[in-house]
Chain A
């Protein structure tokens, strides 16, 4: 096997990227750092003055924080479910993407729950969740689920990276002694024996198998925070699967954006290839179709029966003077357009797939906004309130600043992570390259990437 040799040359190629910060990268880091600091200031203001600094009031009790929570945590679930599924199906082409997927999981699942903390008025009493928990509450389900998932996600990232840590600790590249020590420690004594390979593969298989139902549970539990209330547009049996699919759809979009960004910034064109975009693009089409179907079925049943509050809500969503534009953008640009752009071979390219992904990620953020805010603006009893901030929600600078801070955190953590772990997994990619070389030799030239 030439894996050792291939991985050595791969590391040589990636090392300059990992060992020093370029000026451009530092500017990038500084830019997001400032946005993050603005968010921290907003957080300070919110803690000192209370939630009165947000746009949330007695009717619309949740706003963009909870939208961001669903959005980020959904991205997190994707890394695990897509990574886990591809791992189980042993799709060879997945290998260069696994690190991005695993990092995405951990980073998003760290950021997401921070937004739920922003919705909590008394952070000083947060530990009550652990000393007075009531298992009947979907919030407790969510706390348990998210924490379980975070552990699973970290394990997934770690198990996938053990072999790379081993390679890094034994590499010939110059690096500070502390760094090598950390790599050595993290490699957990992996020296590539047959037994270790077997155990690691088994562990990864089991973990992938566990992560898939976990994602489904965690996503459903999240949806039930809404589904368990007597509110129009929330109290729906489809909400569990709807949220699972929405999460994976958005996350796969983010995966494409990350693939594009790292391919460009780290010159990874040789490893993150057009076929990766195309395959992930196919997955996007399937998910968009599924999500479109769920959406259609959800709105159709509400509209057709037109129960009083549902009818009121649907009217609000479709009325161009209210949420109409957002609604049509979210459902057409977010679902239909990606299907067309990726589905029609003539349009299909790295650029259009990335564009579709960007479009759908933005659209899906608005989609979550449409799930949360208009429903809360449609209470069962007439509001009969004339304070405009109580009737209609509009996010304040504090909420936008903290939204920006979440994105900044995502960018910064990803950038920093890419300095310490190769963004394309060295071992697995070497494996793939070797395997494809063999196939190539066997079939005399024709590379045959397979979806398995």
Chain B
């Protein structure tokens, strides 16, 4: 009992520490005028998730490195959940400006090429008069997962900690789960998969989901190998605006790296909802409506390539 409590405290603490680090890391990558590190100074100005500029001493920062629980993964089958956990994610649509840092980080972490996106940012426009908004979409790790139901060989499974994972060494590539998932979350390796930076790729485990295996299905896994090390999933730490809150429903705590909040309170205060509740899939991902936006939606087009812009031509 004591042990598990201290684990929980550790989780929150690490989360907090990580948060700061990630803000720094993201800022380095961003290079936008108001976020630039002043030359030869010991403090940096950072944009907080609330849109305020804060000054932080560089000594307090460390840059996040992408490590896998390589050796750990080998001893863990990946089929059993992390004990006592019930992972949950909250995505604040009011903060997303389609910076795509989450996608880049996710692809790097999972050694997948640019054109494959486990995490997508869609441009949504609910009706003619509605204002368009950016909509980051991970796997929803549903509590009533239609993908798991239809898998004929138990290659995709639901764990006690809420995660829906894929065992790519079991998957027969029938793609039924892809038909089953109403959110088009899953991707298939149609040919021999390209593995970016194979040298740093950890040994395969359903928790690392990498390296990709040909003719099997893969998707967002909530990075359980990172979580086992007490770290946050890469999309959470990479987001410059703190859009993603990740945490444990049992602890009623979620963190986006810089702020740690009560999950229930956040959902209550900001009218959190689940996407397409009517489908009955019971997602573990909650959304906060795109109100009180930090950025105009147009900001999202700023750094896109022409191809990326073309994706949204139907919405504009």
Q: Which chain A residues have a beta carbon within 8 Å of chain B's beta carbons?
A: 49-52, 56-59, 61-62, 119-122, 125-126, 128-129, 132-134, 136-140, 143, 225-226, 228-231, 376, 379-387
Chain A contacts of B215 at CB under 8 A?
50-51, 121-122
Question: With the chains together, A236 CA to B314 CA distance in Å?
Answer: 29
Binary per-residue interface labels of chain B (138-170) against chain A in the complex, 1 for a CB within 8 Å, 0 otherwise: 000000001001111111000000000000001
Partner of B174, one of A52, A119, A379: A119
Q: Is the CB of A230 within 8 A of B182?
A: yes
Q: Find residues 170-229 in chain B having any chain A CB closer than 8 Å to their own CB.
A: 170-176, 178-180, 182-184, 186-192, 214-216
Asked if B39 CB lies within 8 Å of chain A CBs, one says: no
Asked if B295 CB lies within 8 Å of chain A CBs, one says: no
A380 nearest CB neighbor, chain B only: B182
A135 nearest CB neighbor, chain B only: B152
Partner of B170, one of A50, A128, A228: A128
- Knowing A121-B215, A230-B279, A386-B310 are in contact, say whether A62-B179 is a contact too (CB < 8 A): yes
A-B pairs, top 7 by smallest CB distance, nearest first, are A121-B173, A121-B215, A52-B191, A139-B152, A52-B190, A137-B152, A230-B182
Chain B contacts of A58 at CB under 8 A?
178, 184, 186-188
Asked if B123 CB lies within 8 Å of chain A CBs, one says: yes
Chain B contacts of A382 at CB under 8 A?
122-124, 314-315
Q: Is the CB of A122 within 8 A of B171?
A: yes
Tell me, rounded to whole Å, the shortest Cβ–Cβ distance linking B100 to chain A: 13
Q: Is the CB of B178 within 8 A of A134?
A: no
Q: Find residues 38-71 in chain B having any chain A CB closer than 8 Å to their own CB.
A: none
Q: Is the CB of A137 within 8 A of B187?
A: no
User: Given A120-B173, A384-B311, 17 more contacts at CB 8 Å?
Assistant: A50-B214, A121-B189, A121-B216, A122-B173, A132-B154, A132-B155, A133-B153, A136-B149, A137-B149, A137-B150, A137-B152, A226-B179, A229-B179, A229-B182, A231-B182, A384-B122, A386-B311
Asked if B312 CB lies within 8 Å of chain A CBs, one says: yes
Q: Is the CB of B175 within 8 A of A121?
A: yes
A51 nearest CB neighbor, chain B only: B190
Partner of B122, one of A134, A225, A381: A381
Asked if B29 CB lies within 8 Å of chain A CBs, one says: no
Asked if B2 CB lies within 8 Å of chain A CBs, one says: no
Chain A contacts of B271 at CB under 8 A?
none
| Residues of B in contact with A, size category | 35 or more
Chain A contacts of B120 at CB under 8 A?
384
B215 nearest CB neighbor, chain A only: A121
Asked if B267 CB lies within 8 Å of chain A CBs, one says: no
Tell me, rounded to whole Å, the shortest Cβ–Cβ distance linking A312 to chain B: 12
Question: With the chains together, A230 CA to B140 CA distance in Å?
Answer: 15
Asked if B85 CB lies within 8 Å of chain A CBs, one says: no
Q: Which chain B residues have a beta carbon within 8 Å of chain A's beta carbons?
A: 115, 120, 122-124, 137, 146, 149-155, 170-176, 178-180, 182-184, 186-192, 214-216, 276, 279, 281, 307, 310-312, 314-315
Q: Is the CB of B183 within 8 A of A61?
A: no
Q: Is the CB of A140 within 8 A of B152?
A: yes
Partner of B188, one of A61, A125, A137, A383: A61
Tell me, rounded to whole Å, the shortest Cβ–Cβ distance linking A316 to chain B: 14
- Knowing A120-B172, A134-B151, A230-B182 are in contact, say whether A56-B315 is a contact too (CB < 8 A): no
Tell me, rounded to whole Å, the shortest Cβ–Cβ distance linking B43 to chain A: 40
Q: Report the number of A-B residue pairs with Cβ-Cβ less than 8 Å.
A: 134
- Knowing A128-B172, A225-B176 are in contact, say whether A134-B152 is a contact too (CB < 8 A): yes
Q: Is the CB of A381 within 8 A of B189?
A: no
Q: Is the CB of B172 within 8 A of A125?
A: yes
Chain B contacts of A121 at CB under 8 A?
171-175, 188-189, 214-216
Question: With the chains together, A376 CA to B192 CA distance in Å?
Answer: 24
Q: Is the CB of A229 within 8 A of B312?
A: no
Q: Is the CB of B184 within 8 A of A139?
A: no
Question: With the chains together, A211 CA to B11 CA distance in Å?
Answer: 60
B148 nearest CB neighbor, chain A only: A136
Chain A contacts of B171 at CB under 8 A?
121-122, 125
Give the one of B149, B190, B314, B315 with max A CB within 10 A. Answer: B190
Give the one of B281, B310, B311 with max A CB within 10 A. Answer: B311
Q: Is the CB of A139 within 8 A of B182?
A: no
- Knowing A379-B184, A381-B184, A382-B124 are in contact, say whether A134-B153 is a contact too (CB < 8 A): yes
Tell me, rounded to whole Å, the shortest Cβ–Cβ distance linking B77 to chain A: 14
Tell me, rounded to whole Å, the shortest Cβ–Cβ distance linking B168 to chain A: 10
Q: Is the CB of A380 within 8 A of B179?
A: no
Chain B contacts of A128 at CB under 8 A?
153, 155, 170, 172
Chain A contacts of B175 at CB under 8 A?
61-62, 119, 121
- Knowing A58-B188, A61-B178, A229-B146 are in contact, say whether A122-B216 is a contact too (CB < 8 A): yes
B146 nearest CB neighbor, chain A only: A230
- Knowing A229-B150, A231-B182 are in contact, say whether A384-B191 is a contact too (CB < 8 A): no
Tell me, rounded to whole Å, the shortest Cβ–Cβ distance linking B113 to chain A: 13
Chain A contacts of B188 at CB under 8 A?
51, 57-58, 61, 121
A376 nearest CB neighbor, chain B only: B179
